[in-house]
Structure 1
Amino acid sequence: MNASFRPQRGFTILEVLVAFMVAALLLTVILSTFTTGMSSLAKTDGLSVAALVAQSRLEELGVSVPLEEGITEGQDESAPDYRWRINVAPLAWDFAEPLKAAGGIVYRVDVTVTWPGTKRRGSFTLTSLRTVFPDEAAGQNGQGGNL
């Protein structure tokens, strides 16, 4: 009897295990990249909504909301998770006294919007300067101008 020995063709168990390990590592990298991208997208979305809320509050100031020194807070109607805080204070600068003598004042307006985040609370601040001339403002329903 003539028995001939033929080598088997195919993969060994070790080769299959190495292939599974490489596939698992690649899948981990791909999923990690996807998760990071989704997290960045959520953060960017929150920041853009906060910027819109801050800008709308700043635009209302001196038009439908009187420009007065102090702090006001509230919650946005269109985005209930977003809370805003407006701080209006006189600007300390070199020409404050001459402007005050002329009947005007410059206010620094800080609008800060906060919202809940997945890992931490988000915050966005928009700052503007507004000039007010009380004599002229009385005839304009308390409106001030941008600097």
Structure 2
Amino acid sequence: MRNDDGFTLLEVLVAFVIAAAALGLLFNAAGDGIAAVDRAGRTEEAVSRAKSHLAALGRDVALADGTFEGDDGGGYRWRIRVTPVATSTPPDMAPSGGVRQRSLSLYAIEITLSWTDGGQDREVVLRSERLLPARH
């Protein structure tokens, strides 16, 4: 009669293969999680940069019709598209002899920030509208 007090070599090898496969899956999941956090951080930075460009339009930077592009640093590129949508003159509410109100123009604004992440092109697009005095 044979005494089975220990594990056979085959049992040890099967346990080792199962443990190695589990560790491989664990490391793969951890790597995917780290990549997702990095992607989320780059996207958050792109949104912040796009908001800064949007806030500067019409205040620090003149609002002009057309498409403008540039390098934002850190691997980001920006594109701003400004399109006039409508122009309107408010009804004259001033009493006679008063100052007439100026015409207003509505502009559609699209800001795109793009970057390359792991060989894949990514972009964030913000759209807004601005109401400014019309240029004559």
> TM over 0.5, yes or no?
yes
Residue in 2 aligned with 1:100? 88
Residue in 2 aligned with 1:85? 79
Residue in 2 aligned with 1:145? none
TM-superposed CA distance for 1:109, in Å, is 0.3
* Cα offsets for 1:56-84 (capped at 9, x unmatched): 111110011001111111112xx431110
TM-superposed CA distance for 1:8, in Å, is 5.1
Q: What SS does the aligned partner of 2:88 have?
A: helix
Structure that is richer in strand per residue: 2
**Which one-letter code corresponds to 1:61 in the other structure?**
L
Task: Confirm or deny that 1:23 pairs with 2:11.
Answer: no
**Which one-letter code corresponds to 2:108 in the other structure?**
R
Structure that is richer in helix per residue: 1
Gaps of 5+ in 2: 91-102
Cα RMSD after superposing both structures = 1.9
The TM-score, its normalising length taken from structure 2, stands at 0.83
**Percentage identity across paired residues of the two chains:** 33
Regions of 4+ moved over 3 Å: none
- d(CA) in 1 for partners of 2:27 and 2:2? 44
State the number of aligned residues: 124
Q: What SS does the aligned partner of 1:48 have?
A: helix
Gaps of 5+ in 1: 139-147
Q: How does 1:1-147 map to 2 (within 5 A)?
A: 7=3, 9-76=5-72, 79-91=73-85, 96=86, 99-102=87-90, 103-134=103-134
The TM-score, its normalising length taken from structure 1, stands at 0.77
